[in-house]
Amino acid sequence: MAEPTPSRLTPSAHAPVPFWRDIRVIQIFLQIVFVVLVVAFFYLLINNLVTGLERSNLPIDFGILTRPFGTQISEGQMDFNPGKSSNLQALWAGLQNTLRVVSVGLIGATILGILVGVGRLATNALIRSVSSVYIEIFRNTPLLVQLYFIYRGMRLVLPETLRDSIQLPGSVYLNRRAVNFPLVQGTDTVWILWIALAVGLAVGIGLWVWRLRVQERTGQPANVLYWFIPSVLVTGLVGWLLSGGPLDVQTPELQGFNFSGGDRLSAEYLALTIGLILYTAAFIADIVRAGIQAVQYGQIEAARAQGLTQAQTLRLIVLPQALRLIIPPLGNQYLNLAKNSSLGIAIGFFDTYNIANVIANQTGQSVTLFASMMAIYLTMSLVISLVMNLVNYFMRLRER
Amino acid sequence: MNRFSRVVLLTVLTFALIAAFSFPAASFAQDDTPGKLQEVIDRGVLNCGVNGQLPGFAALNPDTNVMEGFDADFCRAVAAAIFGEATEDNVNFVQLTAQERFTAVQTGQVDVLFRNTTATFSRDTELGLDFGPTTFYDGQGLMVRADAGVTSIDDLNGASICSLTGTTTELNITEAMESRGLEYELVPFEQSSETIAAFEEGRCDVLTSDRSQLAGLRSNAADPGSMVMLDDVISKEPLGPAYLAGDAQWGDVVNWTVYATIQAEEFGITSENVSEFLSSDNDSILRFLGQGDSATGSLVGLDNDFVVNVITSVGNYGEMFARNVGPDSDLGLARGQNALWTDGGLMYSPPWR
């Protein structure tokens, strides 16, 4: 035969594969088909929802967000005007309350979680067993139950009438409704104090850097805090004296039904925040323990051999390495905490979810409000994820 | 993958694609669905939304595990009108919070809502609901501790007020306090059991709700004597059934079942003596009871004598009231505005003609 048979492996120019059998064309075609199917499916669902709602005289209408809210929001933003403020402003007030809980919760849960996680590995048997019992109890019971338990428990333990409030030093009053504490506000001259503190901070950081250089050069212990703290304190004191008493303190006074003056944290806020901290810290503790245990024991032995104390070993050798392993799962717990804050509705806390529910109930626009709520919580979660990813990026092992 | 199966796959996908686009939009929400009444008859069960936690209106009796109360009996009345009798099997009580109730009606989870629901303009127009005749005329009241030394709403400056979230009571109390220029703190709960607990345990100075609800909650409290209701009534709350708008026949079934209980009391027909009236010589009573040639129930798609079934099952309005919330019950409410119009009240049935 004059013409050789085309090889199966090297497509010959003489016998091109028809395009409907070309694997590349088929792949692209299938992907297009898939995308179209997905889009069509969601179009169908959404179109069905919209048509169905219109048929029930409930067209989706985001205009209701500008209507007045009508109910007092007694949590957080005190200048909320129930008659005039719109639903959108109510949602914003709710979001602020959510953020107040989440931000304090994240910090508290992290600190408690690290303490308990380290405690779980302590050589002291008492610390170790207390940490284990705490983790097992809080990790293995539902958060909602814990919230009820804490909230109702606080009510049963604390004094009922405001007159019998537990008085703590510094005009702090504890009762079933709230913690009332003095409100500290800056006077007209408070800016002098801020400038002085800023100067002190700058000087302190300069001293810090200088001490580290000295340590690198001479090997003397840096003792950075011995230099940093006095420099801030001294300038702060000077600023305080210059401004002539820059802070104005309002102490709470019992008047009629309630305390007036000062600031307060409601029982609902406290119960929700404490509940979220205790619950999330139990998970974080286990993550911290796993991270620490993942650091090779040889590292610890090496540190000891160098003469580092136990605390120094933990701070300088173990934790920095453990942190890399801890951060990704830690981000998940942060997300859980942020989303779990919506359970506040069970104990009467005015958060985003609670307020969105009230609006949905007053206007009948459930779909609109649930869509808004999803957008709000999604944004919050994405911001937390973004921050955690950035931290993860900067903490990653740099290979040289 | 051989050539044959690839061709089959492509063909299937292409057809799926064509099908997806030629699919009529909103095909799940058909226009020609049978009416609600037929749907309930086919199902054999009436889904009735109730509170479930409110003594006197709808609360589960822990001893018998039966839903008891004024609202629960109206659910049974509707079931009796449709099925001939109300049994444990043909009424499904769906317990709903104040927040869940309207969504439950909108999505068809419940056929009718008897849950201390106030008929208001915006609910009627915006929520896609229709309200039936008022079954209980109520007003919002305020409950305080007896030792608080408070006699009227004007003494409540600075008070903490517990309320149910997602209700008209929240809006009313806000308006009442704002218009008087009083400082206050509102503590909103999702469950009425939580509001009363918070009040009993001293979280709030005031518990606000419809006066009938306050009476019901108080009757269940550990120490009812320690709470007093203020005389102030800050709103009018006509409580009645709600159902999805747009089905006239279903609305008629619910409405005329309620009217039947009122009309029966006016005629003096009770669950005890209803059989005696079947051979009455009063034409309007015979027509009411669907006896003889009169076409009563069939006009709304029910048995002709559905009124007899309703009264046999739950009694007339007066009997229902006395049994659940009246002076001899735990709530001890007087008839007041809920007396028949012939006795100076507001209960009035249109003529059965």
The whole-number pLDDT of residue A101 equals 95
Across the range A111-115, mean pLDDT stands at: 94
pLDDT at A121 over 80: yes
More confidently predicted of B214 and A252? B214
Contact A361 B186 (CB under 8 A): no
Q: Do B277 and B262 form a contact (C-beta atoms < 8 A)?
A: no
A-B Cβ pairs (cutoff 8 Å, strict): 153
The whole-number pLDDT of residue B26 equals 43
Contact A37 B20 (CB under 8 A): yes
Residue A122: name the closest of A292, A280, A368 by CA.
Answer: A292
Alpha helices by DSSP H, chain A: 23-55, 87-120, 125-139, 143-157, 190-218, 224-243, 267-293, 297-305, 310-312, 319-340, 352-363, 366-395
Residue A87: CB partners within 8 Å, gap ≥ 6? A64, A65, A66, A67, A68, A69, A359, A363
Residue B143: name the closest of B224, B31, B84, B58 by CA.
Answer: B224
The whole-number pLDDT of residue B4 equals 62
Distance in angstroms (rounded) separating the CA atoms of residues B120 and B127: 10
Count the alpha carbons within 13 Å of B121 in the hemisphere toward its beta carbon.
0
Which 3 state secondary structure label does DSSP give A139? helix
Contact A56 B203 (CB under 8 A): no
The whole-number pLDDT of residue A386 equals 95
Best residue of B21, B105, B185 to probe chain A, by most A CBs closer than 10 Å: B185
Low-confidence winner among A226-230, A375-379, B321-325 (lowest mean pLDDT): A226-230
Residues of chain B below pLDDT 70: 1-33
Contact A257 B3 (CB under 8 A): no
Distance in angstroms (rounded) separating the CA atoms of residues B353 and B351: 6
* CA-based R_g, chain A, Å: 30
Residue of chain A with shortest Cα separation from B191? A346
Handedness of CA A46, A48, A51, A52 (dihedral sign): negative
pLDDT at A109 over 90: yes
CA angle, residues B29, B33, B37, in degrees to nearest 5: 130
Which 3 state secondary structure label does DSSP give A309? coil
Residues 274-333 (A) with a CB less than 8 A from some CB of B = none
User: Nearest Cβ partner of A74 from B25, B175, B185?
Assistant: B185
- A149/B contact by beta carbon, under 8 A: no
Residues 348-387 (A) with a CB less than 8 A from some CB of B = 348, 350, 354, 357-358, 360-364, 366
More confidently predicted of A74 and A109? A109
DSSP state at residue A9:
S
pLDDT at A347 over 50: yes
Contact A30 B158 (CB under 8 A): no
Residue B304: name the closest of B280, B267, B278 by CA.
Answer: B278
User: Nearest Cβ partner of B165 from A26, A56, A358?
Assistant: A358
DSSP letters, A140-167, are SS-HHHHHHHHHHHHHHHS-SSGGGPEE
Q: Any idea of the CA torsion for A283, A286, A288, A294, to the nearest 10 degrees?
A: -140
HEC string of chain B equals: CCHHHHHHHHHHHHHHHHHHHHCCCCCCCCCCCCCHHHHHHHHCCEEEEECCEECCCEEEECCCCEEECHHHHHHHHHHHHHHCCCCCCCEEEEECCCCCHHHHHHCCCCCEECCCCECCHHHHHHCCEEECCCCEEECEEEEEEHHHCCCCHHHCCCEEEEEECCCHHHHHHHHHHHHCCCCEEEEEECCHHHHHHHHHCCCCCEEEEEHHHHHHHHHCCCCHHHEEECCCCCCCEEECCEEECCCHHHHHHHHHHHHHHHHHHHHCCCCCCHHHHCCCCCHHHHHHCCCCCCCCHHHHCCCCCHHHHHHHHHCCHHHHHHHHCCCCCCCCCCCHHHCEHHHCCCECCCCCC
pTM of the model: 0.76
Q: B348 exposed, middle or buried (CB, 10 Å; 0-12, 13-18, 19+)? A: middle
Q: How confident is the prediction for chain A on average, in pLDDT?
A: 86
Contact A364 B98 (CB under 8 A): no
Q: How confident is the prediction for chain B on average, in pLDDT?
A: 87
More confidently predicted of A164 and B270? B270
pLDDT tens track for A171-215: 788 888 888 888 777 777 778 888 888 888 888 888 888 888 888
Complex ipTM above 0.85? Answer: no
